[in-house]
Amino acid sequence: MRFFEPDVADPGLAGELEAAYRRVAASGRLILGPELAAFESEFAAYCGAAHAVGVGNGLDALTLALRAAGVGAGDEVIAPSHTFVATWLAIAATGARPVPVEPDPATCTLTAEAVAAAVTPRTAAVIPVSLYGHPVDIDPLLAVCKRHGLFVLEDAAQSHGAAYEGRRTGSLAHATAFSFYPTKNLGALGDAGAVTTSDGGLAERLRKLRNYGSIRKYEHEHAGVNSRLDELQAAFLRAKLPRLDAANDRRRAHAAAYAETLGGAAGLTLPVEASWARHVYHLYVVRSPERDALQARLEAAGVQTLIHYPTPCHLQPAFADLGFRSGQFPLAERLAREVLSLPMWPGMPAEGPAKVAELLGTKA
């Protein structure tokens, strides 16, 4: 069983994607045209935000949002010690310094208490990551950040459609960065990203930064970049957005089946869903001290798994100059040794979780 398979082979969606391609090709508008404008409007409405600004990828969404908020050299940005490296790369790209904190051991997301303890006079922003599809406990975090005047940028690259107290990610923080990489819950057919916000000034700065710092041709107000969500990917995303909730429901059904069949596995820690959360299971991540042995057993039986993530950001060679050392963030390092992502995608065979449970020696 494969870890993930794209949904583009679905006959109904395939027809819509082909129609989207033909519509864009016939229009002659390939960059910053009506498809992008329509997708930005539709995605903002879906999230409950006033604005969405399409960019080239998720990393650019994070980086440009920080830049639009004025984060730069000399600043500190609090971020999880356990996350994909893009969160930290975005901070570094602005010239700011990442300040890692340990996650909540149950949800693997940031807590208000951990953030409050890490604030210094140089702190400018916080990036809570809604990891694996589970949202952050955002209201207490926002209260801490309000007291200190901090910008809050949610990294929702893995949580399209997730919700906190009934409010969707994309509307919870000052701004939210999304990736539409093909394996995401809402995935394009290539790289793509977006930032949602209800701050009109921030949205305007983002639109300039993504387009060479310009709104009017040959007038460049900022040292911007070329990071524009193109018309074709926007059209593809428009076709897929109305299917997102149903696809997330299928992910949740697979997760429930995993929980039922793996519940008796000795030494296996299963993911949780907080009472205030709607988890959308971009990944189904279990933990075990015997992770490598479990992965080898599943691989031998033809079940593909992955590890998200085997090396904590503070121990990556790219950040060696920051001076972090092994043992400084023990929970992140333990997670790196124990986490294992099981197969998860909307069209996964219904019997998949039971097959995995049987191979792991639990009752199906």
Last residue of one domain, picked from the residues 188, 221, 242: 242
Confidence of residue 9 (pLDDT cuts 50, 70, 90): low
Q: Answer whether 51's CB lies under 8 Å from 75's CB.
A: no
Based on the fold, state whether residues 229 and 274 are members of the same structural domain: no
Across the beta sheet with 76-80, the strand order is 51-55, 193-197, 175-179, 151-155, 123-126, 76-80, 97-101
> Has residue 363 got a pLDDT over 90?
no
Q: Residue 344 belongs to what domain range?
A: 244-359
Percent of the chain whose predicted confidence (pLDDT) is above 70: 99
Mean pLDDT of 248-254: 97
Based on the fold, state whether residues 72 and 181 are members of the same structural domain: yes
Amino acid in the structure at residue 9: A
Give the range among 60-64, 129-133, 214-218, 331-335 with minimum mean pLDDT: 214-218
Based on the fold, state whether residues 233 and 283 are members of the same structural domain: no
Based on the fold, state whether residues 230 and 290 are members of the same structural domain: no
Name the residue with tokens 């975005």. 90
Q: Answer whether 329's CB lies under 8 Å from 343's CB.
A: no
Confidence of residue 264 (pLDDT cuts 50, 70, 90): confident
> Has residue 302 got a pLDDT over 60?
yes
Overall domain count for the chain: 2
Based on the fold, state whether residues 144 and 189 are members of the same structural domain: yes
Based on the fold, state whether residues 31 and 64 are members of the same structural domain: yes
Q: Answer whether 272's CB lies under 8 Å from 326's CB.
A: no
For the stretch 215-237, pLDDT in tens is 899 999 999 999 999 999 999 99
Mean pLDDT of 129-138: 98
Residue 4 lies in a domain: no
Pick from 137, 183, 248: nearest CA to 3:
183
Based on the fold, state whether residues 235 and 263 are members of the same structural domain: no
Residue 192 lies in a domain: yes
List beta partners, residue 269. Answer: 287
Residue 360 has a pLDDT of 85
Based on the fold, state whether residues 173 and 38 are members of the same structural domain: yes
Based on the fold, state whether residues 255 and 321 are members of the same structural domain: yes
Q: Answer whether 339's CB lies under 8 Å from 331's CB.
A: no
Based on the fold, state whether residues 97 and 232 are members of the same structural domain: yes
Q: Residue 283 maps to which CATH number?
A: 3.90.1150.10
Based on the fold, state whether residues 138 and 84 are members of the same structural domain: yes
Q: Residue 16 maps to which CATH number?
A: 3.40.640.10
Based on the fold, state whether residues 16 and 143 are members of the same structural domain: yes
List beta partners, residue 195. Answer: 53, 177
Mean pLDDT of 174-191: 97
